[in-house]
Amino acid sequence: MAKKNILVVEDNHAILDVITLILESEAFNVVGLNKGADFINHVNELNPDVIIMDIMLPDTDGRILLKHLRADVSIAHTPVLMISARYNATNYMLDEVAADDFMAKPFNIDELMDKIYALLKKSSH
């Protein structure tokens, strides 16, 4: 089976490094980006199987990036796990931005992996 590609958009370098290390240890291909502009410029060519995206980025809001993603037919189906230290109203966030799932920071690594595997399983049907 081919490795799955996960795109992580997170401006906090320490969090990005931890997520990358964990996902790579689970045999995922991981691309990490720190800015929303990088996401817009590269998401189509990266063709991720799952996107993990922070809501609060230095150059834009993750909700705006998700709207951009959902408007692009070629990648609109990509599952997105939104993460944020500021928000904890999970149902509100999912409804507001059409994310597939949400996690509040700080998060549990096992829960993160469970959510990623669930999104991959859901998208493979």
Instruction: Give the H or E element holding residue 118.
Output: helix 109-123
* pLDDT tens track for 86-117: 766 554 455 566 789 888 888 899 999 999 99
Question: b/e map of 4-13 (b: 16 or more CB within 10 Å)?
Answer: bbbbbbbbee
Digit-coded pLDDT (tens) for 11-48: 999 999 999 999 999 999 999 999 999 998 889 888 89
Is pTM beyond 0.85? Reply is yes
Domains of the chain (ranges plus CATH)?
5-120 (3.40.50.2300)
In the sheet that holds 5-9, the strands lie side by side as 29-33, 5-9, 50-54, 80-84, 101-104
d(CA 79, CA 19): 17
Over residues 52-70, the pLDDT tens digits come to: 999 889 898 888 899 889 9
